[in-house]
């Protein structure tokens, strides 16, 4: 092996190390966040099945709404990352101050939506027993949404600077506090009223403010003073906010497009029976758990590539993108092999119903391929955000999910052309949509990195 080849291999392994040092805390934070949702489901379900339905219904409204607003604020991460890479630390403070204005407005808008969701429930003819729990649950959650959006803005400051451990620390603390809070508020201990599933919403609002307090304690430490984010108070600067929205709106819509596809597919599957919906949710949940690592790598790619682009290291940014994609494919392949050989064992943790088990095990065969596509698209999307490329990826997401995935799934599932394939048809549609997104986003990443490289060469000649 030549010295140049040895250096390339050594550099590749070093880059993998950098990516995973950023990604692992983010993955842990996502798992802890998921754990809070699991805790709500388990504890509300133990109290009463109606409360479980109400909390689940509320979650299906709250999380897509929050993710849409969070996507707007996520423009902070690549912006801070590129400024950090270029050494323009003084500009970061103003970005954060304007980001906080965005977060506050987005949080208030989300709170307004959650407080008026009863109108939609009436229009959709939702079970009144479930809505009786869901409406006050969402109303309680709404008191914490502005705090959560501000938390995300300050967390993205830490992420963009390359400090991802705070996200993990805060998520773990939040999970450890959420469980006892749920218990106290659901069952009414220490003189507090018994609130049932609504207590989960009160606990969630408290946790949102708790997370904001913790991130403030972290980003007011000396290492963040270089950004000057708390050196003064800024009034809204619509030019800067507009620049953030140009990046953030496509990010939010891309996230919402994917989440909306999965949520709407679940609603359409409802006509095939409870067993089908349960099996579909089990398959999606297993995919979601194994999806955490690729998603974290995508987020790490945003940060790392942002640093590279900001520093003018165009070739290194391209290398980072290639290594992130390769690492993602290896991890997804190993995860798919694991699912294939242990699918019956995995399903047994969720249900003992023979019909649900059989269908879930079959759907996991679709997940084997789906996960490869899903992992690729999320890492490619994250890498593109590092380049501040968000508009074209948004178009790709909307096209792939809503013009390919959903129509194909509905056509095959409901049998508009051939014999109805029911849930299998929808999974073929999901795989086709996510596969299309993976292919187009990878093509976009290859083209964009080559374009940046050509521009850099032209500038240096």
Residue 5 within a domain: no
Q: For residues 436 and 373, give the distance between their C-alpha atoms in angstroms, rounded to a whole number.
A: 8
pLDDT of residue 461: 64
Tell me: do 336 and 218 sit in the same domain. no
Count of structural domains, the chain: 2
CB 252 within 8 A of CB 385: no
Whether the CB-CB separation of 390 and 383 falls below 8 Å is answered with no
Higher pLDDT, 452 or 180: 180
User: For residue 36, what pLDDT is reported?
Assistant: 86
Position 122 confidence tier, pLDDT thresholds 50, 70, 90: confident
Q: Are residues 221 and 296 in the same domain?
A: no
Distance CA 380, CA 305 (A): 12
Top-confidence residue, 423 or 103: 103
- Sign of the C-alpha dihedral computed for residues 62, 65, 68 and 73 taken in this order: negative
Distance CA(265)–CA(287), nearest Å, equals 15
Tell me, yes or no, whether 287 and 172 share the same domain.
no
For residue 71, being part of any structural domain is answered with yes
Q: Is residue 29 part of a domain?
A: yes
Residues 271-296 pLDDT 10s? 777 677 778 878 888 888 888 889 99
Alpha helices by DSSP H, listed for 188-273, are 198-219, 238-269
pLDDT attached to residue 126: 66
- The answer to whether residue 353 sits within a structural domain is yes
Q: What is the pLDDT of residue 365?
A: 94
**pLDDT above 80: residue 120:** no
pLDDT in tens, 134-180: 889 999 999 999 999 999 999 999 999 999 999 999 999 999 999 99
Boundary residue ending a domain (208, 236, 264) = 236
Q: pLDDT tens, 300-330?
A: 999 999 999 998 888 889 999 999 999 999 9
- How many of the other CB atoms lie within 10 Å of CB of 33? 15
Written as six digits, the tokens of 355 are 């019909």
Judgement on whether residues 157 and 275 belong to the same structural domain of the protein: no
Q: Cα dist. 122→119, 125, 126, 135, 209 in Å? A: 5, 5, 6, 11, 31
In this prediction, residue 398 carries a pLDDT of 95
Q: Identify which has the larger pLDDT, 458 or 91.
A: 91
Sign of the CA dihedral 310, 313, 315, 321? Answer: negative
Tell me the C-alpha distance between 380 and 225, whole Å. Answer: 32
Q: With contact defined as beta carbons under 8 Å apart, do 200 and 55 qualify? A: yes
Residues 76 and 220 in one domain: yes
**Each residue's pLDDT tens digit, 209-231:** 999 999 999 999 988 889 888 88
Confidence band (pLDDT; 50, 70, 90) for 6? low
Do the beta carbons of residue 192 and residue 113 sit within 8 Å?
no
Least confident of 81-85, 90-94, 262-266, 396-400: 262-266
Q: How are the residues of the chain apportioned to helix, strand and coil, as percentages rounded to the nearest 5?
A: 85, 0, 15
Q: Where does the pLDDT of residue 3 fall: very low under 50, low under 70, confident under 90, or very high at 90 and above?
A: low
Looking at residues 418-443, what average pLDDT do you find?
A: 93
- The region that residue 418 occupies, defined by phi over 0 for left and psi between -120 and 50 for alpha, beta otherwise, is beta
Q: Same domain for 264 and 229? A: no
Q: Does one domain contain both 265 and 381?
A: yes
Encode pLDDT of 172-190 as tens digits: 999 999 999 999 998 988 8
* Position 220 in a domain: yes
Mean pLDDT calculated for residue range 437-442: 96
Report whether 36 contacts 178 (CB < 8 A).
yes
Q: Is residue 16 in some structural domain?
A: no
Output the pLDDT for position 5: 62
Max avg pLDDT among 3-12, 112-121, 235-244: 235-244
Q: Quick one: 264 and 373 in the same domain?
A: yes
d(CA 69, CA 248): 9
User: Can you give the pLDDT at residue 360?
Assistant: 87
Provide the mean pLDDT of the chain.
88
Q: Return the pLDDT at 2.
A: 60
Rg (CA), the chain: 22
Q: Which of 213, 236, 259 is the last residue of a domain?
A: 236
Lookup: tokens for 139: 């109303």
Same domain for 177 and 256? no
What separation, in Å, do the N-terminal and C-terminal C-alpha atoms of the chain show? 32
Region 423-439 average pLDDT? 94
CA 374 to chain centre: 12
- Say what the alpha-carbon torsion angle 97, 100, 102, 105 is, to the nearest 10 degrees: -130
Structural domain boundaries enclosing 429: 249-461
Residue 353 backbone zone (phi > 0: left; psi -120 to 50: alpha; other: beta): beta
Give the integer Cα–Cα distance in Å for 249 and 390. Answer: 9
Q: Are residues 311 and 459 in the same domain?
A: yes
Last residue of a domain, one of 185, 205, 236: 236
Q: Is residue 82 part of a domain?
A: yes
Tens-place pLDDT, residues 324-369: 999 999 999 999 999 999 999 988 877 777 888 898 899 999 999 9
Residue 444 lies in a domain: yes
CA 9, 382, 296, 431 torsion-angle sign: negative
Q: Which two tokens stand for residue 103?
A: 């977060």
The predicted pLDDT at position 148 comes to: 95
User: Which of 50-54, 129-133, 323-327, 421-425 has the lowest average pLDDT?
Assistant: 50-54
Residues 280 and 363 sit within 8 Å (Cβ to Cβ): yes
pLDDT of 234: 87
Structure-block tokens of residue 217: 């304690």
Is the pLDDT score of 419 beyond 60?
yes
pLDDT at 270 over 60: yes
Q: Does one domain contain both 95 and 201?
A: yes
Residue-level pLDDT at 197: 84
Q: Are residues 89 and 208 in the same domain?
A: yes
């Amino acid at each position: 092996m030549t010295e140049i080849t040895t250096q390339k291999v050594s550099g590749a392994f070093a880059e993998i190390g950098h990516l995973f040092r950023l990604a692992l805390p983010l993955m842990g934070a996502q798992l802890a966040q998921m754990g809070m949702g699991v805790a709500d489901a388990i504890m509300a379900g133990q109290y009463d099945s109606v409360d479980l339905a109400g909390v689940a219904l509320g979650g299906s409204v709250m999380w897509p709404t929050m993710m849409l607003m969070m996507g707007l604020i996520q423009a902070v991460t690549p912006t801070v990352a590129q400024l950090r890479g270029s050494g323009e630390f003084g500009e970061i403070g103003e970005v954060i101050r304007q980001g906080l204005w965005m977060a506050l407005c987005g949080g208030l808008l989300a709170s307004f939506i959650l407080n008026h969701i009863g109108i939609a429930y009436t229009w959709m003819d939702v079970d009144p027993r479930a809505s009786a729990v869901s409406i006050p649950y969402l109303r309680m959650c709404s008191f914490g949404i502005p705090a959560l959006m501000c938390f995300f803005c300050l967390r993205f400051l830490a992420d963009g600077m390359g400090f991802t451990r705070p996200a993990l620390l805060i998520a773990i603390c939040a999970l450890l506090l959420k469980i006892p809070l749920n218990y106290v508020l659901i069952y009414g201990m220490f003189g507090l009223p018994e609130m049932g599933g609504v207590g989960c919403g009160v606990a969630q609002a408290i946790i949102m403010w708790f997370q904001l307090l913790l991130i403030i304690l972290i980003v007011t430490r000396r290492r963040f003073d270089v950004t000057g984010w708390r050196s003064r108070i800024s009034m809204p600067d619509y030019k800067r906010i507009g620049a953030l929205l140009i990046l953030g709106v496509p990010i939010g819509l891309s996230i919402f497009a994917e989440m909306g596809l999965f949520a709407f597919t679940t609603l359409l599957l409802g006509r095939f029976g409870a067993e089908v919906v349960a099996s579909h949710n089990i398959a999606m949940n297993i995919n979601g758990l194994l999806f955490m690592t690729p998603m974290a790598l995508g987020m790490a790619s945003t940060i790392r590539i942002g640093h590279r682009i900001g520093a003018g290291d165009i070739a290194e940014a391209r290398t980072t993108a290639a290594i992130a994609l390769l690492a993602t494919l290896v991890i997804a392949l190993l995860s798919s092999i694991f699912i294939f050989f242990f699918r019956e064992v995995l399903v047994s943790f969720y249900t003992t119903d023979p019909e649900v088990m059989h269908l879930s095990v079959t759907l996991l065969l679709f997940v084997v391929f789906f996960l490869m596509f899903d992992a690729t698209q999320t890492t490619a999307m994250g890498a593109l955000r590092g380049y501040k490329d968000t508009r074209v990826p948004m178009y790709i997401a909307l096209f792939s999910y809503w013009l390919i995935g959903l129509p194909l799934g509905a056509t095959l599932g409901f049998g508009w052309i051939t014999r109805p394939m029911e849930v299998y048809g929808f999974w073929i549609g999901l795989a086709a949509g996510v596969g299309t997104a993976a292919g187009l986003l990878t093509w976009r990443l290859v083209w964009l990195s080559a374009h940046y490289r050509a521009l850099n060469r032209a500038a240096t000649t």
